[in-house]
Amino acid sequence: METILLLIGVCCIIMLLLKPQRPKNFPPGPEPLPVFGNVLQLSMKNPVRDLEELSGRYGKVYSLFLGWRPAVVIHGLQAVREALVTRAVDFAGRPQGMMINHVTENKGLIMGNYGAVWREHRRFALATMKNFGLGKRSMEERILEETTHICNCLEKSQGRPVDPLSLIHSAASNIICSVLFGQRYDYNDDVLAFIINSFKENAQIANGAWAAIYDTFPLLRRLPLPFQKVFKNYRDLKMHTQAIVEQHKHTRVPGKPRDVVDCYLDEMDKRAPDGGLLDEERLVMLLLDLHFAGTDTSSNSILSAILYLATHSHIQAQCQREIDRVLGESLSVSFEDRHRMPFLMATIHETQRLANIAPLGVFHATTRDTKLMGYDIPEGTLIITNLTSVLFESTSWERPNDFYPGHFLDEDGQFVKPDAFLAFSAGPRVCLGELLARMELFLILVSLLRRFLLVWPEDAARPDLTPVFGGIQSPRPYRVTFRLRAKPC
């Protein structure tokens, strides 16, 4: 009996020693378990509700342990803005040692850590995208060309219900491909299917239980478990992108760039012999980041907009009346037309708010010891910005759970954007593709609404507007009828 009691005592002491401890003046939170931390207290399917409940108990800033790793969760507009805007540089890092870091080798714009190399590549990406017409007519032409292909495909459906997922993902991928590589793919092309499926599969695994297991239990990382698929997909995508870069090296004319690849190679030439902070390995990682971000987020935003408009016919009709009034007999739409379409702009932004594409943003990390809402946050702490809590905060939105474009209209019916609209996050890490996404949403939706009525099938089940949770959320699969309008333009 004494031996058993001694063993129990030793086990208790070991468990206490393994239990994570909060630093002094660290945000409060639930008691962690040894080894697991608070992981078992969160739903892997969708932890947002659990995080909201914890915020109700511990406040707008509280802490969790993901295994032994401490994490600070931030809720609500005030706390999120203090972190991402007021103390922007302090919270501009990325957490290290996680699966996504190992997959991307800590390179690229999404997970690259804050520093000189990251800042230089972000500056290059912004300048280059601008030079290729971001916000200018040339970019409009790229988007409108792809929109023509979308509409032609939908016309062939002859008014039958269709699932637009594959079509919209393909179109979004083609738009960003035209900017990065100067090419587009046929919608039936196997290469396009490989790219989209690889991105989709990686996003699903990276934001699910297997990624949490990888991050929490390092001893399991070499086992042949499902998270290994992410590494294989990324290697294949990387090889594909490297081949495109190699081809560009042999076909480009220095000083006359056709796309982002040529621009980067030109910039490397200017900085010869060593290229400065630029090199081909980082070029490939940059291209993969831009390609993924420009495919997944934009396509899911467009798919969400189609779903909401098809299930809210009165809002769709008001958008179409505004489009018809503004465009009249004009043969095409311009991004500048948005200034004369306040209700459509409000509808697009309300779609983005409810779609909540990045519910927890991309995880941040502190770049140095800092403070937040009176708490001490050590350097390197993982930061989770709950953007859902901002986009649905009852103090910021009159009807937070409803599809209500009035959230973005003033008393005179003019478009306004509230401070709480943080669908693209904020601060130094604000989404690089925000303007491209806005252009795509506006030009594609105007073109679709001008040509088609979006009709929810009469024999279909009642629509479920609850998105599928993930790092990048998506609407649940659906089918909708694209019926040619009586007077198509």
Any idea where the domains of the chain sit in the sequence?
109-354+389-422+433-484
Q: Which has the higher per-residue pLDDT, 452 or 279? A: 452
DSSP designation for 85: I
pLDDT digits (tens, 9 = 90+) for 349-369: 999 999 999 999 889 999 999
Given a cut of 90, whether residue 169 has pLDDT beyond it is yes
pLDDT digits (tens, 9 = 90+) for 265-305: 998 888 877 667 888 999 999 999 989 888 888 999 999 99
b/e map 113-137, b = 16+ CB within 10 Å: bbeebbeebbebbeebbeebbbeee
Which helix (H) or strand (E) covers residue 309, if one does? helix 280-311
Backbone φ, ψ for residue 476 (5° rounding):
-65, 150
Q: How confident is the model at residue 487 (pLDDT cuts 50, 70, 90)?
A: low
> How much is the pLDDT for 25?
95
> How much is the pLDDT for 258?
87
> How much is the pLDDT for 112?
83
pLDDT digits (tens, 9 = 90+) for 61-101: 999 998 889 999 999 999 999 999 999 999 999 998 888 88
> How much is the pLDDT for 4?
45
User: 488 exposed, middle or buried (CB, 10 Å; 0-12, 13-18, 19+)?
Assistant: exposed
Length of the chain: 489
Taking the C-alpha atoms of residue 188 and residue 172, their distance in angstroms, rounded to an integer, is: 14
> How much is the pLDDT for 277?
83
Q: What is the mean pLDDT of residues 380-385?
A: 95
Q: What is the mean pLDDT of residues 372-384?
A: 96
DSSP designation for 109: S
Given a cut of 70, whether residue 136 has pLDDT beyond it is no
Q: How confident is the model at residue 134 (pLDDT cuts 50, 70, 90)?
A: low
> How much is the pLDDT for 315?
97
Q: What is the mean pLDDT of residues 300-321?
A: 96
The answer to whether 408 and 416 are in contact (CB under 8 A) is: yes
Tell me which range, 85-89, 257-261, 429-433, is most confidently predicted by mean pLDDT.
Answer: 85-89
Q: List the Cα angle 374/377/379 in 5-degree steps.
A: 150
Taking the C-alpha atoms of residue 298 and residue 313, their distance in angstroms, rounded to an integer, is: 23
Helices (H), 85-189: 99-104, 116-131, 137-155, 165-180
Rounded to the nearest integer, the mean pLDDT of the chain is 89
Which helix (H) or strand (E) covers residue 455, if one does? strand 452-455
> How much is the pLDDT for 18?
58
Given a cut of 60, whether residue 224 has pLDDT beyond it is yes
- Of 242, 232, 234, 231, the residue nearest 279 (C-alpha): 242
> How much is the pLDDT for 189?
94
Given a cut of 80, whether residue 199 has pLDDT beyond it is yes
b/e map 392-408, b = 16+ CB within 10 Å: bbeebbeebeebbbebb
Instruction: Specify the CATH number of the domain 109-354+389-422+433-484.
Output: 1.10.630.10
- For the entire predicted model, the pTM comes to 0.90
> How much is the pLDDT for 7?
47
> How much is the pLDDT for 210?
84
